[in-house]
Each structure stands twice: as structure tokens, then as C-alpha cells.
């Protein structure tokens, strides 16, 4: 993080003195990416505001429809607002509907257990070198604690 004074100095060197990024970085003993970030900060703050969209007058209606019917397809909403005078494309409306559509919630409940509360018995093959197993593929039931 650089100080505001250094940021001002970087911007003065770049915009007023027309120094290159590498020269500024060497002069101020900072990384060139830091210089780029200091220069880029103001570019987005001074950007032009977005012009109004053709869908904007219909946003309250689209929100209302999506609140009542969250799974309704964008093409059906397009037909509904086209009857109300919308002259834009269905693709533009699809982007707006995707942004406004409520996100689905999880369809299941998470299992919450305390440690050692939930355990199960697993079937485990036990063989040792000192004592051969009785019969081929002999198994033993061994309780195993499963951490949740």
C-alpha cells in the first residue's frame, strides 16, 4: 500500500511530466504494478455514467413478475412486456432477467452432528502375518469411529 502523497506524485509524473511507468517505478523505488494501479484508480471513477437501457421502464413489472413466479422463463416475460410496448430484443431482456431472478435456495438440510455422535461400523478385512486368517477371505467386524 502506498501513501496518498506517493500516489499523487506518480500521477503527476505520468500525466503532467509524461514519464514512463518503468521510469516512475525506478525513481520512487516501487514496483511497476504499483505504478499501474495508482494510474488506473482514477480511470474508473471518471467513467461516463451508463446510459439508460430500453428495459429500464419495464424493470418494476419484471421484478413483480419474478417475485410472484420466480421460475417463469424470460421468453414468456418478453411476450408479456412486448404487449405493453417493449421494443427491445429478447437477448437484452434475458440478461436483465438473469440478473434479477431470485437465487434458488438449497433443497436439503445440512446434517449437523457433534464429534463422536455419529459413527458407523464398517466391514474391514483383517489379516496379519503372525496368524493366518481362517479360510480364504475371512473378515471381522471392527467398529470404526467416523469423524463428521
| Annotated domain spans of the chain | 4-45, 56-100
Question: How would residue 40 be classed by pLDDT, with cut points 50, 70 and 90?
Answer: confident
> pLDDT tens-digit profile of 116-143?
665 554 455 555 565 555 555 555 555 5
d(CA 28, CA 35): 9
d(CA 24, CA 140): 73
Q: For residues 95-127, b (16+ Cβ closer than 10 Å) or e, as one string?
A: ebbeebeeeeeeeeeeeeeeeeeeeeeeeeeee
> pLDDT tens-digit profile of 59-105?
999 999 999 999 999 999 999 999 999 999 999 999 999 999 988 77
Q: Which pLDDT score is estimated for 138?
A: 53
Of 79, 126, 71, 130, nearest to 103 (Cα)?
A: 71
Amino acid at each position: 500500500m502506498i501513501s496518498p502523497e506517493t500516489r499523487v506524485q506518480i500521477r503527476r509524473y505520468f500525466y503532467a511530466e509524461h514519464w514512463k511507468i518503468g521510469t516512475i517505478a525506478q525513481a520512487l523505488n516501487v514496483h511497476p504494478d504499483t505504478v499501474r494501479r495508482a494510474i488506473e484508480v482514477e480511470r474508473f471513477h471518471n467513467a461516463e455514467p451508463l446510459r439508460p437501457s430500453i428495459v429500464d421502464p419495464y424493470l418494476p413489472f419484471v421484478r413483480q413478475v419474478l417475485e410472484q413466479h420466480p421460475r417463469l422463463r424470460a421468453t414468456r416475460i418478453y411476450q408479456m412486456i412486448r404487449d405493453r410496448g417493449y421494443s427491445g430484443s429478447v437477448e437484452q431482456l434475458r440478461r436483465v432477467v438473469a440478473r434479477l431472478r431470485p437465487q434458488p435456495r438449497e433443497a436439503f438440510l445440512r446434517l449437523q452432528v457433534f464429534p463422536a455422535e455419529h459413527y458407523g461400523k464398517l466391514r474391514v478385512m483383517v489379516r496379519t502375518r503372525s496368524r493366518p486368517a481362517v479360510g480364504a477371505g475371512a473378515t471381522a467386524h471392527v467398529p470404526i469411529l467416523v469423524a463428521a
